Amino acid sequence: MSDDASKRARDLVERDRKVVWHPYAPPQADPLFAVESTEGAEIRLSDGRTLVDGMSSWWSAIHGYRHPTIEAALKAQLETLPHIMFGGLTHEPAVRLCERLLDIAPKGLSRVFLCDSGSIAVEVAIKVAFQYWLSRGRPERSRLLTVEGGYHGDTFATMAVCDPVNGMHDFFRGVLPDHLFAEKPSCRFEDDFEERHIEDLASKLEIHRNEIAAVILEPVVQGAGGMWFYAPAYLRRLRELCDEHEVLLIFDEIATGFGRTGEMFGADHAGVSPDILSLGKSLTGGTLTLAATLVSDHVSDAIAAGEPGALMHGPTYMGNPLACAAAHASLDLLETTPWHENVKRIEAELREGLLPCSELPGVADVRALGAIGVVELEAPVDMKIVQPAFVEEGIWVRPFGKLVYLMPPYVTTTAQIEKLTSGLCAVVERYV
């Protein structure tokens, strides 16, 4: 790297530390790396170094960066309608996007509420569930049931259903609503499901059925709460239990939607449909922020029939045409590219490439599903040590807690996957 490039990078980081507050960081983030540009599955730092991206920008850039199909769609949309309020007005990009989402979503969902981010999509899902029971004259149904090890977002309603002990928000426990938590699914993805795996949830559902508005969980893959993969049959039994007790079922597909697990949605592994479904992250291919909450007719009809007869939520940038155009381009790519084959290949390469970590001291488990590879450690990592070490290996990996994981773009090549896995294993061996 040149001296000038290195100096520009250092200067930018120093300016940042004076005024910027980064996610999950103290007021002055450390370590911090300046980015110059992105292309495909690579990140170019301002100091001239190039990294293979193992994070897909927090799991959103599924087609890689600067994909020409998405960029062309954005440029075309800029020429006609970059943004317009969605209250009382409508436009083709939003309507067609809602139609397309319903076409590919699990059966039974019939209406789409567009919003800004994954946390808000889950927030809307929770609000819809509560308003459903208020509209039916059942205000006592004001609690949620979920499982330990989950993660659903950083807003107050979503924090309240994240893992209450080992999650990122246990600090706020005393000021959050009090919901119900059952044991997380203990059956691995490849295991046979047994009734004992859901016994605790079933018991809580029976005892608290008249208090519970909905069960909410991430289908098949628990994301930031633990990167745990569990048996699809668990979801089929959960659907039966919710129907039996007349409780709504919410699937949070923010992380699992649009192919990450090897199917279009996590729910597709089980052939199960929820009453409410939240989508986000990779909806626009990681280009612009956009999310959606999908709802079944029996839920929306109940809200329409009650007071005030309208869903009481309205984001300023709801249905943003630019974001909708990016989403259409991303869906076009999912229809025309061999993403399914790529994800299957990436799964095999992640499983093989991370396997050496299973023999290392301090490693509790190694697992892979779809384009997700996880090395679970026995103790949390020291980010100030391992983050620069990953950069020195030429890869971008952002662990949290005990989890060192990879979620690369679907366009990542075999050589790039090998660099990610070998670099990750080297750092784990050296510093854990």
Q: Which of 68, 80, 105 is nearest to 267 (CA)?
A: 105
Residue 201 pLDDT more than 60?
yes
- For residues 420 and 426, give the distance between their C-alpha atoms in angstroms, rounded to a whole number: 10
- Which carries the bigger pLDDT value, residue 44 or residue 165? 44
Q: What percent of the chain has pLDDT over 70?
A: 99
* Other beta carbons within 10 Å of 284: 28
What is d(CA 374, CA 37) in angstroms, rounded to the nearest whole number? 27
List phi, psi (to 5°) of 277.
-135, 130
> Which whole number is the average pLDDT over 221-241?
96
The order of strands in the sheet holding 291-296 is 109-115, 291-296, 276-279, 248-252, 212-217, 143-147, 180-182
Looking at residue 398, what is its pLDDT?
A: 97
For domain 3-63+338-431, give its CATH number from 3.30.200.20, 3.40.50.720, 3.90.1150.10, 3.10.129.10.
Answer: 3.90.1150.10
At 164 the pLDDT is: 83
Contacts of 243 (CB under 8 A, 6+ apart): none
Give one DSSP letter per residue of 7-22, joined into a string: HHHHHHHHHHHHH---
Mean pLDDT score, 331-349 = 98
**Residues 250, 144: Cα–Cα separation, whole Å:** 10
Q: What is the pLDDT of residue 3?
A: 79
pLDDT attached to residue 273: 98
Structure tokens at 68: 């020409």
Residue 1 has pLDDT above 60, yes or no: no
Is a pLDDT exceeding 80 seen at residue 402?
yes
- List the domain boundaries for the chain: 3-63+338-431, 71-336
Contact 347, 355 (CB under 8 A): no
- pLDDT tops 60 at residue 104: yes
Q: Check if the beta carbon of residue 222 is closer than 8 Å to that of residue 26.
A: no
Span 112-120, mean pLDDT? 97
H/E element, 23: none
Helix, strand, coil share (%) of the chain residues, nearest 5: 40, 20, 40
Residue 126 has a CB neighbour count (10 Å cut-off) of: 26
138-148: average pLDDT: 97
Tokens representing 187? Answer: 């059956």
pLDDT for the residue 347: 98
- In this predicted structure, what is the pLDDT of residue 4? 85
pLDDT of residue 368: 98
Predicted pLDDT of residue 165:
77
Instruction: Please report which residue ranges of 112-213 form alpha helices under DSSP H.
Output: 118-135, 156-159, 199-207
pLDDT of 318 > 80? The answer is yes
Q: Which of 125, 182, 198, 191 has its CA nearest to residue 149? A: 182
Q: Do domains 3-63+338-431 and 71-336 have the same CATH topology?
A: no
Task: State residue 369 phi and psi, 5-degree precision.
Answer: -155, 125
Per-residue pLDDT tens over the stretch 10-19: 999 999 999 9
The structure tokens 């910027």 sit at 20
Cα gap 103→59, rounded to integer Å: 23
What pLDDT is attached to residue 304? 97
Q: How confident is the model at residue 159 (pLDDT cuts 50, 70, 90)?
A: very high
Helix (H, G, I), strand (E, B) or coil at 426: helix
Residue with tokens 């567009």: 114
Whether pLDDT at 167 is above 80: no
pLDDT band at 83 (very low <50, low <70, confident <90, very high): very high
Over residues 128-140, the mean pLDDT reads: 97
CATH code of the domain occupying 71-336: 3.40.640.10
Q: For the residues 198-218, what does the mean pLDDT come to?
A: 97
* Confidence grade of residue 168 (pLDDT, cut at 50, 70, 90): low
Average pLDDT, whole number, for the chain?
A: 96
- The residues that are catalytic are 24, 151, 252, 281
Chain center to CA of 383: 22
**What mean pLDDT is predicted for residues 316-337?**
98
**What does the pLDDT read at residue 339?**
97
